[in-house]
């Protein structure tokens, strides 16, 4: 897709977009509507009449598995994931180590995926520099206890001062005033790393924030790529076409030409402000804390710009589906490192890090423990707090089935792995004075070696021939299809 408009048109043609012409407030009201829509599986909404603002507000564009797949240019996230794996020429899960190592350089330069620079683009139709004013944007205040309005769906473009390499990350930004933003990048995220690198030189970091453009860009900003891997290369691979960039107006940072809105500025090494509270995706308010401040030097936008945003809070919310896209897209990558992994569910209620359900093809004793430690050593999976391992026959996307297996297959003393490791910054239950805890539950069938030679009972499954016959004769018995 070329831009946000193409995506809006796609949603509209599928009956998945509602245009709201009634006047609504950016203060709490749109947030409440967005929460209800996502909870009920409702459509995305384009608010065309936001009190006190010219610009329409888009929410919920990514708020289902189907819309998320459309955002990435396909119909189904698993199909997109296997296509991506093929384009990256990921080695098969059972490939040897040498083949996997040989694949690494290939992953870094996929032909034709690097962004290209163009001279101008629609994001520069209107340019404000000295008269730039964030208060002209319909930025939402989402929850009653929030410290103010927050930009929640921005792609934050930064660079490493030494190599010039780009990073795109999604970090929320609190509006402190007409030209001041709080930069809530977690200390371990690449935007924070780039900021520290500029600060160590005593220099302010140039930053640009893009809103909109191809929806792939919004997703790419949330993708957990290793430091140094340009999110725009991932976007280029997913689109099958390079991202088009335009140079900065007031800072040397390029941004997508087809964005709706661009905010430029600098973040000085020594200026901080108290950010928050913010009603976060944990379902709780994150308390106020000190973060760097961006001084805005320009706001540019399309003549008829649309402001895209999202509302986070107690699940289910739109960001859960961005996380689901990562779960699907990165599963083939996880399998190149932990080949016995069959499927993975980061359930919506687990809010990214609290719960992971993983199924494995188990071939040897204590393998579930190996998988736990491997996942706890893998990128952002390191923050997983509760990790349940089940056999490949279990549908990890059915939480009730997973809990049934935990109850049936796990012994509370033998099968729990209690250990420590890093916690998500937002985990308010993590102890501040010692390493945060982690719990792994081995709910796989036990091999004789794991249980002193005792045989493990077989699960009950229907006779396949009879099941087939009953399915065929269902109507003949006088039952309706929905009664099966």
Ligand X SMILES: Cc1cc2nc3c(=O)[nH]c(=O)nc-3n(C[C@H](O)[C@H](O)[C@H](O)COP(=O)(O)O)c2cc1C
The reply to whether 35 sits near ligand X by the rule CB under 6 A is no
The reply to whether 124 sits near ligand X by the rule CB under 6 A is no
The reply to whether 185 sits near ligand X by the rule CB under 6 A is yes
Between CA 53 and CA 31 the distance in angstroms is 16
Using the 8-state DSSP alphabet, how is residue 446 labeled? P
Residues in binding contact with ligand X, number by CB under 6 A: 20
183 contacts 195 by C-beta, under 8 angstroms? yes
Residues in binding contact with Mn ion, number by CB under 5 A: 3
Assign 437 to helix, strand or coil. Answer: strand
Instruction: Select from Mn ion, ligand X, none the partner in contact with residue 152, using the beta carbon and a kind-dependent cut-off of 5 to 8 Å.
Output: ligand X
The reply to whether 282 sits near Mn ion by the rule CB under 5 A is no
The reply to whether 319 sits near ligand X by the rule CB under 6 A is yes
Give the binding range for ligand X (CB under 6 A) out of 50-58, 117-125, 186-194, 249-257: 186-194
Sign, Cα dihedral of 470, 472, 478, 482:
positive
Q: Going edge to edge, which strands form the sheet with 255-256?
A: 116-117, 244-246, 255-256
The reply to whether 319 sits near Mn ion by the rule CB under 5 A is no
**Nearer to Mn ion (CB atom), residue 232 or residue 358:** 232
408-437 residues near ligand X, rule: CB under 6 A: none
Q: Compute the C-alpha angle 27/28/30, nearest 5°.
A: 95
**Nearer to Mn ion (CB atom), residue 150 or residue 157:** 157
**Nearer to ligand X (CB atom), residue 380 or residue 395:** 380
Between CA 305 and CA 283 the distance in angstroms is 31
Instruction: Select from ligand X, Mn ion, none the partner in contact with residue 224, using the beta carbon and a kind-dependent cut-off of 5 to 8 Å.
Output: ligand X
| Smallest gap from residue 24 Cβ to Mn ion (A) | 35
The reply to whether 179 sits near ligand X by the rule CB under 6 A is no
The reply to whether 345 sits near ligand X by the rule CB under 6 A is no
**Nearer to ligand X (CB atom), residue 208 or residue 441:** 208
Between CA 212 and CA 232 the distance in angstroms is 14
The reply to whether 322 sits near ligand X by the rule CB under 6 A is yes
The reply to whether 397 sits near ligand X by the rule CB under 6 A is no
Instruction: Select from Mn ion, ligand X, none the partner in contact with residue 219, using the beta carbon and a kind-dependent cut-off of 5 to 8 Å.
Output: none
The reply to whether 190 sits near ligand X by the rule CB under 6 A is yes
Cβ atoms < 10 Å from Cβ of 246: 21
Residue among 169, 236, 248, 276 that touches ligand X (CB under 6 A): 169
Q: Is 160 a catalytic residue?
A: no
Instruction: Select from Mn ion, ligand X, none the partner in contact with residue 93, using the beta carbon and a kind-dependent cut-off of 5 to 8 Å.
Output: none
Residue among 47, 171, 176, 376 that touches ligand X (CB under 6 A): 171
384 contacts 437 by C-beta, under 8 angstroms? no
| Smallest gap from residue 129 Cβ to ligand X (A) | 27
Q: Convert residues 191-230 into a mask of x (bound to Mn ion by CB under 5 A) and - (unbound).
A: ----------------------------------x-----
The reply to whether 316 sits near ligand X by the rule CB under 6 A is no
- The closest of 427, 448, 451, 426 to 438, measured between CA atoms, is 427
Give the tokens for residue 463: 């006779």
- The closest of 221, 298, 294, 226 to 256, measured between CA atoms, is 221
173-192 residues near Mn ion, rule: CB under 5 A: 190
**Nearer to Mn ion (CB atom), residue 155 or residue 345:** 155
Residue among 222, 266, 336, 384 that touches ligand X (CB under 6 A): 222
212 contacts 259 by C-beta, under 8 angstroms? yes
**Nearer to ligand X (CB atom), residue 36 or residue 186:** 186
The reply to whether 167 sits near ligand X by the rule CB under 6 A is yes
Instruction: Select from ligand X, Mn ion, none the partner in contact with residue 475, using the beta carbon and a kind-dependent cut-off of 5 to 8 Å.
Output: none
Of all residues in this chain, which one has the CB nearest to Mn ion in the complex?
190
Between CA 374 and CA 158 the distance in angstroms is 31
159 contacts 256 by C-beta, under 8 angstroms? no
425 contacts 390 by C-beta, under 8 angstroms? no
Residue among 152, 155, 174, 282 that touches ligand X (CB under 6 A): 152
Which residues, 6+ apart, have CB-to-CB distance to 27 below 8 Å? 140, 141
Measuring CA to CA, how many Å separate 423 from each of 130, 228, 322, 377, 419? 42, 23, 21, 12, 12
Give the tokens for residue 433: 């004075």
b vs e for 80-90, b when ≥16 Cβ sit within 10 Å of the residue's Cβ?
bbebbbeebeb
Between CA 46 and CA 19 the distance in angstroms is 5
Catalytic residue among 190, 214, 230, 280: 280
Which residues, 6+ apart, have CB-to-CB distance to 463 below 8 Å? none
Instruction: Select from Mn ion, ligand X, none the partner in contact with residue 143, using the beta carbon and a kind-dependent cut-off of 5 to 8 Å.
Output: none
Give the tokens for residue 200: 């160590």
The footprint of Mn ion (CB under 5 A) covers: 167, 190, 225
The footprint of ligand X (CB under 6 A) covers: 152, 167, 169-172, 184-186, 189-191, 221-224, 310, 312, 319, 322
């Amino acid at each position: 897709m070329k831009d946000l408009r193409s995506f809006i048109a796609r949603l509209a043609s599928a009956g998945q977009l509602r245009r709201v012409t009634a006047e609504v407030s950016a203060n709490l009201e749109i947030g409440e509507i967005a929460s209800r829509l996502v909870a009920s599986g409702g459509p995305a909404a384009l608010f065309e009449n936001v009190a006190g603002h010219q610009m329409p507000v888009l929410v919920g564009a990514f708020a289902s598995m189907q819309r998320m797949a459309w955002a990435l240019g396909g119909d189904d996230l698993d199909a997109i994931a296997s296509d991506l794996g093929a384009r990256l020429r990921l080695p098969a899960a059972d490939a040897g180590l040498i083949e996997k190592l040989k694949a690494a350089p290939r992953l870094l330069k996929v032909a034709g995926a690097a962004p290209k620079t163009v001279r101008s683009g629609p994001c520069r139709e209107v340019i404000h520099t000295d008269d730039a004013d964030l208060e002209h944007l319909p930025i939402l205040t989402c929850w009653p206890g929030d410290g103010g309005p927050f930009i929640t769906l921005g792609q934050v473009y930064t660079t490493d001062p030494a190599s010039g390499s780009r990073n795109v990350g999604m970090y929320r930004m609190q509006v402190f005033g007409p030209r001041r933003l709080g930069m809530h990048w977690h200390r371990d995220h690449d935007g924070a790393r780039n900021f520290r690198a500029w600060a160590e030189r005593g220099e302010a970091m140039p930053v640009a924030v893009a809103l909109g453009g191809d929806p792939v860009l919004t997703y790419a900003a949330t993708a957990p790529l290793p430091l140094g891997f340009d999110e725009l290369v991932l976007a280029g691979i997913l689109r099958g076409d390079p991202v088009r960039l335009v140079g900065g107006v007031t800072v040397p940072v390029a941004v997508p030409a087809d964005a709706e809105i661009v905010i430029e500025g600098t973040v000085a090494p020594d200026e901080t402000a108290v950010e928050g509270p913010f009603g976060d995706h944990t379902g709780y308010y994150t308390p106020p804390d000190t973060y760097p401040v961006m001084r805005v030097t320009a706001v540019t936008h399309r003549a008829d710009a649309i402001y895209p945003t999202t509302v986070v809070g107690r699940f289910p919310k739109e960001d859960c589906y961005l996380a689901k896209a990562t779960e699907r897209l990165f599963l083939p990558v996880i399998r190149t490192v932990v080949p016995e992994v069959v499927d993975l569910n980061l359930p919506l209620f687990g809010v990214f890090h609290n719960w992971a359900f993983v199924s494995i093809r188990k071939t040897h004793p204590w393998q579930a423990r190996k998988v736990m430690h491997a996942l706890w050593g893998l990128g952002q999976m390191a923050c997983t707090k509760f990790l349940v391992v089940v056999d490949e026959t279990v549908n990890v996307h059915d939480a009730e089935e997973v809990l049934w297996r935990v109850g049936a297959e796990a012994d509370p003393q033998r099968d729990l792995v209690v250990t420590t490791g890093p916690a998500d910054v937002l985990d308010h239950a993590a102890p501040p004075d010692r390493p945060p805890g982690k719990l792994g539950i081995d709910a796989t069938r036990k091999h004789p070696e794991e249980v002193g030679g005792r045989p493990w009972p077989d699960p009950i499954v229907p006779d396949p021939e009879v099941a087939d016959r009953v399915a065929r004769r269902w109507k003949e018995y006088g039952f309706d299809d929905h009664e099966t």
